[in-house]
Amino acid sequence: MAVPDDRVANTSMIERRSIDYIPDGERHGRLFSQFTLWLGANLQITAIVTGALAVVLGGDVFWSLIGLLIGQLLGGGVMALHAAQGPKLGLPQMISSRVQFGVYGAVIPLVLVCLMYIGFSASGSVLAGQAVAQLIHVEDWKGIVIFAALIVVATIFGYRAIHVIGRVASIIGVIAFVYLFGALLAGNDVGALLANKHFSLASFLLAISLSASWQIAFGPYVADYSRYLPRSTSSVKTFWAVGLGSIIGAQASMVFGVFAAALAGKSFAHHEVSFIVSLGGTGVVAALLYFTVAFGKVTITTLNAYGSFMSIATIVSGFRGSRNISSAVRLTYILGMVCIATGLALLGKDSFLKDFSAFILFLLAFFTPWSAINLVDFYCVTKERYDIPALSDPNGRYGRWNWIGLGVYVFGVLIQMPFINTQFYTGSLVESLGDTDISWIIGLVVPAVVYYVIAKKWHSAIPDRLILPVDTEATITTATGAKTQAAMN
C-alpha cells in the first residue's frame, strides 16, 4: 500500500517542500528545538569575532559588554517577532513580504537578502576554513573548499537535518564555551580589564550596533525554521524560545570575543581562530577545539545556504506564478549560492576582519526598514489576516507592485544615509554626532511609524481572517459539488 504524501514528509530526513505552504498534517517539532537551533547558531566563531570588533575598533571592555547586551535585547526582540510568524503562516519569511511590497515588488528586498546570505556565508567560511585547515593540516584555501562541500550536503537534507545539527551544535558549543571561559578566567586577570573604563559614546553605540545588526540580520530567514511548527503553537512561546536561544548564544560568544580581543591586542586580526584555540590548550585539546570551531560554523552557514535557496526560489516563483521547486532545481540553486560564497571567501580570506566589520554595519541600512515594515504590517495593520493563495497571484489581492510599501522602504533607506558611518560610506551628519552611527535606530523607528500611518489609511483590502490554501481548495470543491448537484437536479 502506498504511503500518503504527508506521512512521507513527516518521516523522511530529506525535505521535499521548499517555499510552498506547510499543511497541518505535515507540521511537527517542539519549541525546545527552536531554542537549541538558535543557541547553536550563535555559539560560534563569527559571533566571537563580532564581539571582538567592539574592542578592536576602539571600545573598552566594560562599556563594550553593556553595549553588546543592549543591542542583543533590541535586535533579538525584533528577530524573535519575525520567528513567531512561521507557525501562523507556514511559509518562509521573505515570501510574506509580498503582502507589503507586491508579488514582483518583494524581489527588491529579496535580492538584498541574497547578498546578505552570500556575505555571511563567505565570512563564516573564512573562519571555518581556518579551523578545518588547522585540524587536518592543509592550507587555508583547501579548508574553505572542504567546509563548503559539507555545507552543500547539509543544505540538501533541509529543515529536519538543520534542526538536528542545531541540537548537536548547541551541546558541543556549551561544552566548548564553558571550557574556554574557564581557561580564560584561570589564566588572566579579567578584573583588571573590567576596571579599565573610559566611556565613549561613539564606541558604546558601535557595540550596540554590532550586536543589534547581528540579531536583525536573522530576521529575513528566521521564520523559515519555525514554519513547520504546529499552527496552534503559541506566538509568545515561539518568541521566547527563539529570542532567548539567539540572545544567550550571541551574548556568550561576544563576551568571550571582547575578552579575547582585549588580551590579544593587535595580534588578534588575521589569527582569530588560532588565538582563541591557543587560550584553551595544545595537542589533542587544540584539535578538539578546532573541530568545535568548524562544527559551530556548520549550523549558521547551512542556515545561510538554505535561506539563499529559499530566497532565489521565491524570486523565480514570483514571476513564474508557481511555488513548486523540483529536486534538480533545488540542488542547482544551492550549489550556485555556495560556490559564489566560497569564491568570495577565497578572495577575501586575507582581509576578513576589516571587510566583515564594514559589511555587517552597512547591512543595517537595508534590513531595518524591511523589518519595520514587515512587523508593523503583520502585527498592527493586517493583524495576521493574510491571503496565502494570493501571494502567488500577481493579479490577485496584493498585486504586482505595492507602491506604498516600496515607497516607505526606499524612504527608510534614504533617511539613514546622513547617519551611516562605515568604511563604504560616511554620512554628512556623522561628524557632528562625534562619529556615532545611529542610522539603524532611525531606520527601524521612522519607517515603522510612517508605514503604520499610511497603511492604515490606504491599505489594500484586508481579508476578515487568515486564508489558507486548504480553505481555497475547500471552497472550490464545494462550489464544484454544488454546480454538479444543480445539474443533476
CA 290 from centre of chain: 24
Q: What pLDDT, on a 0 to 100 scale, did the predictor assign at position 101?
A: 93
Query: Residue 94: which CATH number?
Result: 1.10.4160.10
What mean pLDDT, rounded, does the chain reach? Answer: 83
The mean pLDDT of 112-135, rounded to a whole number, is: 81
DSSP 286: H
Nine-digit cell string for 178: 564553558
CB 412 within 8 A of CB 447: yes
Going by pLDDT thresholds of 50, 70 and 90, the confidence category of residue 451 is: very high
Instruction: Please indicate, yes or no, if residue 445 is contained in any of the structural domains.
Output: no
| Domain-located, residue 106 | yes
Instruction: Give percent of the chain with pLDDT exceeding 90.
Output: 27
- The more confidently predicted of residues 28 and 376 is 376
Residue 74 has pLDDT above 90, yes or no: yes
Closest CA to 162 of 373, 27, 303, 9: 303
Long-range (24+ apart) CB contacts under 8 A made by 156-159 are 156/14, 156/330, 156/331, 156/334, 157/13, 157/14, 157/15, 158/14, 158/15, 158/306, 159/15, 159/225, 159/228, 159/306
- Give the model confidence (pLDDT) of 382-401 as tens digits: 988 999 999 888 888 898 99
65-69, 257-261, 390-394, 473-477: which has the highest mean pLDDT?
A: 65-69
In this model, does residue 408 exceed pLDDT 70? yes
CB 311, CB 110: distance < 8 Å: yes
So what's the pLDDT on residue 485? 43
Q: Which helix (H) or strand (E) holds 78?
A: helix 61-83
Q: Note whether 377 and 451 are within 8 A (CB).
A: yes
pLDDT of residue 351: 64
Question: Is the predicted pLDDT of residue 9 greater than 70, yes or no?
Answer: no
Cβ burial 448-479 (10 Å sphere, 16+ → b, else e):
bebbbeebeeebeebeeebbbbeeeeeeeeee
Residue 478: which pLDDT band, with cuts at 50, 70 and 90? very low
What is the predicted pLDDT for the residue at 435? Answer: 73
Q: Which of 115-129, 341-355, 356-370, 402-416 has the highest mean pLDDT?
A: 402-416
Q: Is the dihedral of CA 4, 9, 11, 15 positive or negative?
A: positive
Total count of domains within the chain: 1
pLDDT in tens, 231-279: 999 999 999 999 999 999 999 999 998 988 888 776 666 666 777 777 7
pLDDT of amino acid 279: 75
Report yes or no on 295 lying in a domain.
yes
pLDDT in tens, 301-318: 888 888 888 888 888 877
pLDDT of 45 > 90? The answer is no
Whole domain around residue 308: which residue ranges?
26-354
Whether 410 has a pLDDT exceeding 90, the answer reads yes
What b/e readout covers 109-140, taking b as 16+ CB neighbours within 10 angstroms? bbebbbebbbbbbbbbbbbbbbbbbbbeeeeb
Nearest by Cα to 176 from 244, 272, 277? 277
> How far is residue 279's CA from residue 262's CA, in Å, rounded to a whole number?
13
Mean pLDDT of 33-57: 89
Task: Indicate whether 268 belongs to any domain.
Answer: yes
Residue 201 reports pLDDT greater than 90? no
Helices 352-376/403-414 angle, 10° precision:
140
Q: What is the DSSP letter of 74?
A: H
38-to-90, 206, 417 alpha-carbon distances in Å: 19, 24, 31
How far is residue 209's CA from residue 173's CA, in Å, rounded to a whole number? 25
Q: pLDDT at position 475, please?
A: 45
